[in-house]
Amino acid sequence: MALTGHDGWQNSSAEDPFYYGQRLVITPESYTYHPLTPEDFLDPQEGDYFVQGTRHYLDCRKAYSLFVSLHRGKTGFSVFGDLKLIFGVEGLRNPAPDVMVVPNVKDTARSRGVFDVQKEGTSPLFVLEIVSPRYREADREKKVWIYEQAGIAEYVLIDAWWTEEAPDAVQYEVVGYRLQEGKYVPMPRDERGFFYSAVNEVWIGVSEEGKDFCVIDAKTGERIVSPEEQTQLALAQSRAEALARMEAERRALALETELARLREELAKIAGVP
Protein backbone atom coordinates (compact mmCIF):
# COMPACT_ATOMS: atom_id res chain seq x y z
CA MET A 1 0.00 0.00 0.00
CA ALA A 2 1.40 3.34 -0.99
CA LEU A 3 1.17 6.06 1.62
CA THR A 4 0.16 9.47 0.40
CA GLY A 5 -0.08 12.90 1.94
CA HIS A 6 -2.96 15.02 3.18
CA ASP A 7 -4.87 15.06 -0.08
CA GLY A 8 -3.21 12.27 -2.00
CA TRP A 9 -1.86 14.35 -4.89
CA GLN A 10 0.02 12.31 -7.43
CA ASN A 11 1.05 14.95 -9.98
CA SER A 12 4.18 17.04 -9.68
CA SER A 13 5.74 20.34 -10.66
CA ALA A 14 7.05 18.69 -13.82
CA GLU A 15 3.46 18.40 -15.03
CA ASP A 16 2.20 21.68 -13.58
CA PRO A 17 4.52 24.70 -13.19
CA PHE A 18 2.14 26.12 -10.57
CA TYR A 19 2.02 22.86 -8.62
CA TYR A 20 3.34 24.57 -5.45
CA GLY A 21 1.58 27.90 -5.87
CA GLN A 22 1.98 31.30 -7.44
CA ARG A 23 3.30 34.79 -6.75
CA LEU A 24 1.93 37.94 -8.35
CA VAL A 25 4.77 40.10 -9.71
CA ILE A 26 3.78 43.65 -10.61
CA THR A 27 5.92 45.96 -12.72
CA PRO A 28 5.11 49.39 -14.21
CA GLU A 29 4.48 47.70 -17.54
CA SER A 30 2.53 44.61 -16.53
CA TYR A 31 1.74 42.02 -13.91
CA THR A 32 2.45 38.32 -14.16
CA TYR A 33 2.19 35.22 -12.01
CA HIS A 34 5.42 33.37 -11.21
CA PRO A 35 5.38 29.73 -10.07
CA LEU A 36 6.54 29.05 -6.51
CA THR A 37 9.02 26.42 -5.38
CA PRO A 38 9.40 24.50 -2.08
CA GLU A 39 12.14 26.97 -1.13
CA ASP A 40 9.62 29.81 -1.30
CA PHE A 41 7.58 27.96 1.33
CA LEU A 42 10.46 28.49 3.78
CA ASP A 43 10.52 32.26 3.20
CA PRO A 44 7.15 33.41 1.80
CA GLN A 45 6.38 36.90 0.61
CA GLU A 46 3.18 38.78 1.30
CA GLY A 47 0.55 37.76 -1.23
CA ASP A 48 2.07 34.35 -2.06
CA TYR A 49 -0.55 31.69 -2.72
CA PHE A 50 0.48 28.17 -1.74
CA VAL A 51 -1.60 25.22 -2.89
CA GLN A 52 -3.00 23.36 0.12
CA GLY A 53 -5.78 20.87 0.64
CA THR A 54 -9.03 20.94 2.57
CA ARG A 55 -7.71 18.75 5.36
CA HIS A 56 -4.67 20.98 5.85
CA TYR A 57 -6.90 24.05 6.09
CA LEU A 58 -9.25 22.44 8.61
CA ASP A 59 -6.37 21.07 10.70
CA CYS A 60 -4.69 24.49 10.77
CA ARG A 61 -7.91 26.17 11.83
CA LYS A 62 -8.49 23.59 14.55
CA ALA A 63 -4.94 23.80 15.92
CA TYR A 64 -5.05 27.60 16.03
CA SER A 65 -8.45 27.56 17.76
CA LEU A 66 -7.23 25.06 20.36
CA PHE A 67 -4.29 27.21 21.42
CA VAL A 68 -6.35 30.39 21.37
CA SER A 69 -8.84 28.65 23.67
CA LEU A 70 -6.00 27.41 25.88
CA HIS A 71 -4.51 30.87 26.41
CA ARG A 72 -7.72 32.93 26.38
CA GLY A 73 -7.98 34.93 29.59
CA LYS A 74 -4.38 34.22 30.55
CA THR A 75 -1.64 36.81 30.72
CA GLY A 76 1.83 36.49 29.28
CA PHE A 77 1.20 34.61 26.03
CA SER A 78 -0.21 35.57 22.63
CA VAL A 79 -1.19 33.15 19.87
CA PHE A 80 -0.68 33.92 16.16
CA GLY A 81 -1.53 31.90 13.06
CA ASP A 82 0.00 31.97 9.58
CA LEU A 83 2.08 35.05 10.40
CA LYS A 84 5.48 35.44 8.76
CA LEU A 85 8.40 35.64 11.14
CA ILE A 86 11.34 37.99 10.63
CA PHE A 87 14.29 36.72 12.65
CA GLY A 88 16.77 39.27 11.37
CA VAL A 89 19.54 36.67 11.22
CA GLU A 90 21.69 36.62 8.10
CA GLY A 91 21.28 33.40 6.14
CA LEU A 92 18.26 32.24 8.14
CA ARG A 93 14.95 31.78 6.35
CA ASN A 94 11.79 33.37 7.75
CA PRO A 95 8.78 31.00 7.62
CA ALA A 96 5.15 31.66 8.51
CA PRO A 97 4.18 29.07 11.17
CA ASP A 98 0.66 27.70 11.28
CA VAL A 99 0.58 28.39 15.04
CA MET A 100 3.02 30.16 17.31
CA VAL A 101 2.88 31.09 20.98
CA VAL A 102 4.78 34.24 21.90
CA PRO A 103 5.46 35.63 25.40
CA ASN A 104 5.31 39.26 26.49
CA VAL A 105 3.84 40.80 23.33
CA LYS A 106 3.47 44.51 24.07
CA ASP A 107 0.66 45.44 21.69
CA THR A 108 -1.52 42.36 21.33
CA ALA A 109 -4.36 44.17 19.52
CA ARG A 110 -2.21 45.66 16.76
CA SER A 111 -2.73 44.22 13.28
CA ARG A 112 0.48 42.72 11.89
CA GLY A 113 1.58 41.66 8.43
CA VAL A 114 4.78 40.11 9.82
CA PHE A 115 6.23 39.43 13.26
CA ASP A 116 9.68 41.03 13.48
CA VAL A 117 11.25 39.51 16.58
CA GLN A 118 13.84 42.30 16.94
CA LYS A 119 11.31 45.12 16.67
CA GLU A 120 8.80 43.29 18.86
CA GLY A 121 11.45 42.59 21.49
CA THR A 122 10.27 39.01 21.89
CA SER A 123 10.31 35.71 20.01
CA PRO A 124 8.08 32.62 19.88
CA LEU A 125 8.69 29.93 22.47
CA PHE A 126 6.46 27.40 20.73
CA VAL A 127 5.78 26.73 17.05
CA LEU A 128 3.35 24.18 15.59
CA GLU A 129 3.17 23.22 11.93
CA ILE A 130 0.50 21.18 10.21
CA VAL A 131 2.63 19.29 7.73
CA SER A 132 1.83 20.45 4.21
CA PRO A 133 1.44 17.59 1.71
CA ARG A 134 3.43 19.32 -1.01
CA TYR A 135 6.07 20.69 1.37
CA ARG A 136 6.61 17.71 3.68
CA GLU A 137 10.40 17.95 3.47
CA ALA A 138 10.28 21.64 4.35
CA ASP A 139 8.13 21.07 7.45
CA ARG A 140 9.71 17.86 8.69
CA GLU A 141 13.36 18.55 7.92
CA LYS A 142 14.34 22.06 6.86
CA LYS A 143 12.16 23.93 9.35
CA VAL A 144 13.59 21.83 12.17
CA TRP A 145 16.97 23.41 11.45
CA ILE A 146 15.48 26.90 10.98
CA TYR A 147 13.60 26.91 14.27
CA GLU A 148 16.55 25.35 16.05
CA GLN A 149 18.84 28.11 14.80
CA ALA A 150 16.24 30.72 15.77
CA GLY A 151 16.16 29.39 19.33
CA ILE A 152 12.50 28.33 19.38
CA ALA A 153 12.12 26.32 22.60
CA GLU A 154 9.59 23.81 21.23
CA TYR A 155 8.64 22.73 17.72
CA VAL A 156 5.71 20.35 17.16
CA LEU A 157 4.55 18.88 13.84
CA ILE A 158 1.20 17.25 13.13
CA ASP A 159 1.10 15.04 10.05
CA ALA A 160 -1.66 12.95 8.49
CA TRP A 161 -1.33 9.84 6.32
CA TRP A 162 -3.58 7.37 4.54
CA THR A 163 -3.43 4.76 1.85
CA GLU A 164 -4.74 5.01 -1.68
CA GLU A 165 -6.84 1.91 -1.01
CA ALA A 166 -8.52 3.54 2.01
CA PRO A 167 -8.45 7.35 1.60
CA ASP A 168 -10.89 7.86 4.49
CA ALA A 169 -8.75 5.89 6.95
CA VAL A 170 -6.65 8.87 8.05
CA GLN A 171 -3.87 8.26 10.56
CA TYR A 172 -2.33 11.19 12.40
CA GLU A 173 1.24 11.43 13.64
CA VAL A 174 2.68 13.99 16.06
CA VAL A 175 6.40 14.76 16.27
CA GLY A 176 7.93 17.06 18.88
CA TYR A 177 11.33 18.70 19.44
CA ARG A 178 12.65 20.54 22.48
CA LEU A 179 15.71 22.82 22.52
CA GLN A 180 18.51 21.60 24.77
CA GLU A 181 21.86 23.38 24.81
CA GLY A 182 21.07 24.99 21.46
CA LYS A 183 20.12 21.72 19.73
CA TYR A 184 16.77 20.07 19.11
CA VAL A 185 16.19 16.70 20.75
CA PRO A 186 13.02 14.62 20.34
CA MET A 187 10.44 15.20 23.05
CA PRO A 188 9.90 12.07 25.16
CA ARG A 189 6.54 10.35 24.89
CA ASP A 190 4.42 9.10 27.76
CA GLU A 191 2.69 5.71 27.80
CA ARG A 192 -0.07 7.10 25.58
CA GLY A 193 2.42 8.38 23.02
CA PHE A 194 1.74 12.02 23.96
CA PHE A 195 4.34 14.80 24.13
CA TYR A 196 4.43 17.29 27.00
CA SER A 197 4.73 20.96 26.03
CA ALA A 198 6.31 22.78 28.98
CA VAL A 199 5.64 26.14 27.31
CA ASN A 200 1.87 25.55 27.17
CA GLU A 201 1.56 23.05 30.04
CA VAL A 202 -0.36 20.63 27.83
CA TRP A 203 -0.05 17.14 26.41
CA ILE A 204 -0.20 16.88 22.61
CA GLY A 205 -0.93 13.64 20.78
CA VAL A 206 -3.41 11.62 18.78
CA SER A 207 -6.53 9.72 19.76
CA GLU A 208 -6.32 6.01 20.54
CA GLU A 209 -7.50 5.20 17.03
CA GLY A 210 -5.09 7.76 15.51
CA LYS A 211 -7.97 9.42 13.67
CA ASP A 212 -7.49 12.89 15.16
CA PHE A 213 -5.06 15.01 17.15
CA CYS A 214 -5.83 16.53 20.53
CA VAL A 215 -4.43 18.84 23.21
CA ILE A 216 -4.95 17.99 26.89
CA ASP A 217 -4.55 20.43 29.79
CA ALA A 218 -1.84 18.95 32.03
CA LYS A 219 -3.33 20.57 35.15
CA THR A 220 -6.91 19.40 34.74
CA GLY A 221 -6.46 16.37 32.49
CA GLU A 222 -9.26 17.68 30.31
CA ARG A 223 -9.13 17.95 26.54
CA ILE A 224 -8.94 21.50 25.21
CA VAL A 225 -12.02 22.25 23.13
CA SER A 226 -12.11 24.86 20.37
CA PRO A 227 -14.94 27.44 20.18
CA GLU A 228 -16.38 25.56 17.20
CA GLU A 229 -16.40 22.31 19.18
CA GLN A 230 -17.89 24.08 22.20
CA THR A 231 -20.73 25.32 19.99
CA GLN A 232 -21.26 21.85 18.53
CA LEU A 233 -21.22 20.24 21.98
CA ALA A 234 -23.68 22.85 23.30
CA LEU A 235 -26.00 22.23 20.35
CA ALA A 236 -25.73 18.47 20.80
CA GLN A 237 -26.48 18.81 24.51
CA SER A 238 -29.43 21.10 23.76
CA ARG A 239 -30.81 18.61 21.24
CA ALA A 240 -30.34 15.75 23.71
CA GLU A 241 -32.13 17.67 26.45
CA ALA A 242 -34.98 18.57 24.08
CA LEU A 243 -35.32 14.93 23.01
CA ALA A 244 -35.26 13.84 26.66
CA ARG A 245 -38.04 16.32 27.49
CA MET A 246 -40.12 15.14 24.55
CA GLU A 247 -39.63 11.52 25.58
CA ALA A 248 -40.57 12.33 29.20
CA GLU A 249 -43.71 14.16 28.01
CA ARG A 250 -44.61 11.23 25.73
CA ARG A 251 -44.24 8.74 28.56
CA ALA A 252 -46.22 10.97 30.95
CA LEU A 253 -49.03 11.26 28.40
CA ALA A 254 -48.99 7.51 27.80
CA LEU A 255 -49.10 6.87 31.55
CA GLU A 256 -51.97 9.32 31.99
CA THR A 257 -53.87 7.62 29.17
CA GLU A 258 -53.28 4.19 30.69
CA LEU A 259 -54.41 5.40 34.14
CA ALA A 260 -57.60 6.79 32.62
CA ARG A 261 -58.27 3.45 30.94
CA LEU A 262 -57.71 1.58 34.19
CA ARG A 263 -60.06 3.92 36.03
CA GLU A 264 -62.74 3.21 33.44
CA GLU A 265 -62.20 -0.54 33.82
CA LEU A 266 -62.41 -0.32 37.63
CA ALA A 267 -65.54 1.78 37.39
CA LYS A 268 -67.22 -0.84 35.17
CA ILE A 269 -66.22 -3.60 37.58
CA ALA A 270 -67.61 -1.63 40.55
CA GLY A 271 -70.79 -0.83 38.67
CA VAL A 272 -70.19 2.86 38.83
CA PRO A 273 -71.84 4.64 35.88
- Condensed to tens digits (0 to 9), the pLDDT of residues 243-260 reads 777 877 888 788 888 888
Query: Residue 179's beta-bridge partner residues?
Result: 184
pLDDT digits (tens, 9 = 90+) for 32-62: 889 998 899 899 988 888 888 888 888 999 9
Residue 101 is predicted with a pLDDT of 97
The fraction of the chain above a pLDDT of 70, given in percent, is: 86
C-beta of residue 177 within 8 angstroms of C-beta of residue 145: no
Question: What's the rounded Cα separation, in Å, for the pair 206 and 46?
Answer: 33
Identify the CA nearest to 226 among candidates 213, 209, 207, 242.
213
Question: What's the rounded Cα separation, in Å, for the pair 252 and 134?
Answer: 60
Q: How far is CA 48 from CA 18, 85, 263, in A?
A: 12, 15, 79
28 — pLDDT class (breaks 50, 70, 90): confident
What CATH number is given for 52-225 in this structure? 3.90.1570.10
C-beta of residue 123 within 8 angstroms of C-beta of residue 97: no
Tell me the three state secondary structure of residue 229. helix
What dihedral do alpha carbons 261, 267, 272, 273 form, nearest 10°? 20
C-beta of residue 154 within 8 angstroms of C-beta of residue 176: yes
pLDDT digits (tens, 9 = 90+) for 77-111: 999 999 999 999 999 999 999 999 999 999 888 88
Identify the CA nearest to 146 among candidates 99, 96, 180, 104.
96
Question: Hey, where are the domains in the chain?
Answer: 52-225, 226-273
The more confidently predicted of residues 212 and 153 is 153
Identify the CA nearest to 86 among candidates 112, 63, 108.
112
pLDDT-wise least confident of 75-84, 95-104, 159-168, 227-236: 227-236
C-beta of residue 227 within 8 angstroms of C-beta of residue 65: yes
